[in-house]
């Protein structure tokens, strides 16, 4: 075996490893981790739902979205809010997807916001729904917290829409 071959035999192995690393990086980079990306991905994966434009509010810009009410969220280290409207026929829902600094922050904010009795809501790691004039659902997964509101003449239809929107969003939050 020549010296040249002996020194070059491992090149294909290195190239293969490089290809694997690049593929891994590509797949990682292809899945943005933020809340806007989660809503965008949910919209792409949900044929029956029509998503409106997603707005992003980072850091102190949360005040721009909700004025003084933002203090509660900032108390729990809210980093970014992504907000969007979603439609199915005449029915509408609003999505507020909050990314907090940690899962512990999300759990603490969820606990504060769900202090009043509600009905369990099957989404995320914990969820709750309240039957107001417009039903409101709240669930958390990891460092994310999601608030949904439904607008429909029929409250059952609004609740059903919230369940479907929650499933679509929740599917995109897993692993982020």
Partner 1 sequence: MNAHLAKGVGRREFLVGGAAVLAGPLWVPPVFAAAGKPDMVVVKGGAALAPEEAAYQRLKAGTERLGGLATLVKGKPVVIKVNATERSSQDANTSVPAAAALLRLCRECGAAGLTVVGQEWGGFDSPRAGQPTLRQAIAAAGATLTELPHYWVKGGEAAYALCKPQGDVWHELYVAKAILDPSAVVLNLARLKSHPHCVYTGCIKNVIGLTYRMFGFHKIDDAEWPRNQGDPADSDGWHVFPQKLGLAFRDVIGPRIALNILDAGQPTFGWRGPGPERLATFDAHTTIVGTDALAMDVYGCGLLHAQRPDVYLPALGDWSQGPSPYVKGNRSKVNYLVECGKLGVGQTDLKKVAIDELSLA
Check residue 87 for interaction with partner 1 (CB under 8 A).
no
- Residue whose CB is less far from partner 1, 46 or 80: 80
Check residue 53 for interaction with partner 1 (CB under 8 A).
no
Token reading at 114: 């769900």
The number of beta carbons lying within 10 Å of the beta carbon of residue 119 is 12
The minimum distance between CB 81 and partner 1, in angstroms, equals: 12
- Residue whose CB is less far from partner 1, 136 or 170: 136
Check residue 79 for interaction with partner 1 (CB under 8 A).
yes
Site for partner 1 in 1-40 (CB under 8 A): none
Check residue 92 for interaction with partner 1 (CB under 8 A).
yes
The minimum distance between CB 78 and partner 1, in angstroms, equals: 7
Helix 155-173 and helix 35-45, axial crossing angle in degrees, nearest 10: 120
Token reading at 64: 């721009």
Following DSSP, what letter does each residue of 111-133 receive, concatenated? HHHT-S--EE--SSSEEEEE-SS
134 to 59, 81, 95, 137, 138: CA distances (angstroms): 28, 21, 13, 10, 13
Show Cβ contacts of residue 79 under 8 Å, excluding neighbours closer than 6 positions. 58, 59, 99, 100, 101
The minimum distance between CB 91 and partner 1, in angstroms, equals: 7
Q: Are 106 and 130 in contact (CB under 8 A)?
A: no
Check residue 91 for interaction with partner 1 (CB under 8 A).
yes
Single residue of 75, 119, 120, 167 touching partner 1 by CB under 8 A: 75
Report the interface residues with partner 1, using CB under 8 A: 59-60, 63-69, 71-72, 74-75, 77-79, 90-92, 94, 96, 101, 112-116, 118, 130, 132-134, 136, 149, 151-153, 158
């Amino acid at each position: 075996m020549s010296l040249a071959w002996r020194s070059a035999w491992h090149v294909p192995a290195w190239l293969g490893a490089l290809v694997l690393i690049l593929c891994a990086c590509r797949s990682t980079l292809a899945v943005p981790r933020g809340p806007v990306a989660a809503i965008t991905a949910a919209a792409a994966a949900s044929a029956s739902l029509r998503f409106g434009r997603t707005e992003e509010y980072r850091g102190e810009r949360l005040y721009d979205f909700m004025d003084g009410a933002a203090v509660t969220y900032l108390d729990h280290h809210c980093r970014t809010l992504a907000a969007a409207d979603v439609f199915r026929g005449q029915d509408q829902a609003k999505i507020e997807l909050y990314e907090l600094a940690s899962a512990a922050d999300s759990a603490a904010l969820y606990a504060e916001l769900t202090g009043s009795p509600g009905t369990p809501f099957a989404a995320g790691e914990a969820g709750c729904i309240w039957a107001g004039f417009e039903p409101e659902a709240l669930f958390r997964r990891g460092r994310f917290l999601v608030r949904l509101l439904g607008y429909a003449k029929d409250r059952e239809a609004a609740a059903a829409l919230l369940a479907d929107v929650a499933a679509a969003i929740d599917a995109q939050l897993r692993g982020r």
